[in-house]
A and B are shown apart, each in its own frame.
Chain A
């Protein structure tokens, strides 16, 4: 190997920060678009009965989730056959469900059901109970007794 003159010092590359800045801006914009744009709609977990009424032509016959308050519960603990109405005040639909439900399921409780409309009745295959963000200690003796009875 012949001795060669030492190589000149490598030039330090000064990379432009522009691509990085643009990338970060693009990511932030994309997140904002997902959060506030039309895509946000597909992140909604369920439709309300009123929305279903308005968009019936689009949604009819498709599997969907409906969320609202529980009214007029008819539950047969022997056959696990459950019938109730789901409402948001504006519209009400009867729901049919077969199976056990959470202990929190009762009148006026929030509920999200997944299934399909057959005619005017919603046939649910999945039922999830929503509970409120409020937590309270029983105030009266009677409430306390109820609670103890339940937990037994």
Chain B
């Protein structure tokens, strides 16, 4: 052990790249011309959409790492799955908060219970439950196994949430970037570039946070193990 995050090249470089990309996205976003109908409110989209993308990525990661754990039974996959779920919940919250701030001046309400918003709120229940169940289980192997299954099933959330605006009538607008059927982008090209840079920046942010949280989780695991060993040794000594 004795792994120092400040001396870890990859973490530092990833952090620097994330910071740079976020900076470029912020400058581009603030310099982008105003929208015809919404004025400067359109800028909330530059945070809202990459945030939602990051949460999808993170929940997808929880499913993928869970699957890798089930296949290889290596604890590090379980740690990454847990880290990814935490990041997912965090950025779902940021998507919701940004969305609410955008919804009030445009729709006229902070929240409506349409399909897109309701399924988004449900993801907090699913992944909040995932983290809660983890905290209730002491046996690491069992915890990892149960969590992997929940994480895998939970991944269903991503396509359901993405398609909610197509499948059910709601208030939330449909996709601006249409990927299904004939691909198209229904916005000014400059917004497309800002969104692209923002999405790249948030993707880097995901990998950076995942790495930092993964290293922390590895240390927590090591400490847990050490304490367990100390306790066992103590018992041996007491027995003589």
Task: Tell me the A residues contacting B by CB distance below 8 Å.
Answer: 20, 24, 27-28, 31, 35, 40, 43-46, 67, 101-105, 112, 126-138, 143, 147, 150-151
Alpha-carbon separation in the docked complex, A143 to B37 (Å): 10
Give the shortest distance, in Å, between B182 (CB) and chain A (any CB): 15
| Contact with B160, one of A20, A35, A44 (Cβ below 8 angstroms) | A35
A101 with B108: CB separation less than 8 A = yes
Given contacts A128-B109, A151-B40, contact A134 B186 (CB under 8 A): yes
For residue B193, CB closer than 8 A to chain A, the reply is: no
Q: Which of B45, B114, B175 contacts A135 (CB 8 A)?
A: B45
Closest chain A residue to B172 by CB distance? A130
Shortest CB distance B81–A (Å): 17
Are A133 and B190 in contact, with the CB atoms below 8 A? no
Q: Is B136 an interface residue (CB 8 A)?
A: no
What 5 A-B pairs have minimum CB-CB distances, sorted nearest first? A102-B108, A135-B187, A133-B173, A45-B114, A137-B188
B106 touches A131 (CB 8 A): yes
| Assembly CA distance A27 to B150 (angstroms) | 11
Interface residue tally for chain B (C-beta within 8 Å): 38
Main secondary structure of the interface of B (DSSP, over half): loop
A130 to B107, Cβ gap below 8 A? yes
Q: Which of B5-30 contact A (CB under 8 A)?
A: none
Pairwise interchain contact A45-B112, C-beta atoms closer than 8 A: yes
- List 27 A-B pairs, Cβ < 8 Å: A27-B153, A28-B156, A35-B160, A43-B115, A43-B118, A44-B115, A44-B168, A101-B108, A104-B37, A112-B112, A128-B107, A129-B107, A130-B173, A131-B38, A131-B107, A131-B173, A132-B173, A133-B176, A135-B35, A135-B36, A136-B36, A136-B37, A136-B188, A137-B35, A138-B33, A138-B34, A138-B36
* Complexed CA–CA distance, A44 and B114 (Å): 7
Check B34 against A147 for contact (C-beta < 8 Å): yes
- Is B174 positioned at the interface, with any CB of A under 8 Å from its CB? yes
- For B160, the closest partner residue in chain A by CB is A35
Q: How far is the CA of A102 from the CA of B171 in the complex (A)?
A: 14
CB distance from B59 to the nearest CB of A (A): 15
B96 on interface, CB distance cutoff 8 Å: no
Residue on A nearest B177 in the bound complex, by CB? A133
- A127 in contact with B35 given A40-B168, A45-B171, A136-B187 (CB within 8 Å): no
Are A46 and B169 in touch, CB under 8 angstroms?
Answer: yes
Interchain CB contact under 8 A, A128 and B108 = yes
Residues on the A chain within 8 Å of B98, using CB: none
Which of B36, B108, B173 has its CB near the most chain A CB atoms (within 10 A)?
B108
Which residues from A are CB-within-8-Å of B153?
24, 27-28
Q: Evaluate whether A133 and B174 lie within 8 angstroms (CB atoms) in the complex, with A147-B34, A147-B39 already known.
A: yes
List residues of B (21-75) whose CB comes within 8 Å of A's CBs.
Answer: 33-40, 42, 45
Pair A102/B105 contact, Cβ less than 8 Å: yes
| Contact residues in A for B38 (Cβ distance below 8 Å) | 104, 131, 135
How far apart sit A118 and B174, CA to CA, in the bound complex (Å)? 32
Taken together as a complex, chains A and B put the C-alpha atoms of A130 and B165 apart, in Å, by: 12
- Cross-interface CB contact of A130 among B35, B36, B171, B190, cutoff 8 Å: B171
Find chain A residues with CB under 8 A from B190 CB. Answer: 137
User: Does chain A have a CB within 8 A of B132?
Assistant: no
Contact check, B40 vs A31: say whether CB atoms are below 8 A apart.
no
**Interchain CA distance A31-B153 in the complex, whole Å:** 11
Which interface residue of A28, A104, A105, A126 has the most chain B CB atoms within 10 A? A104
Contact with B112, one of A44, A104, A128 (Cβ below 8 angstroms):
A128
Q: A135 and B176: CB pair below 8 A?
A: yes
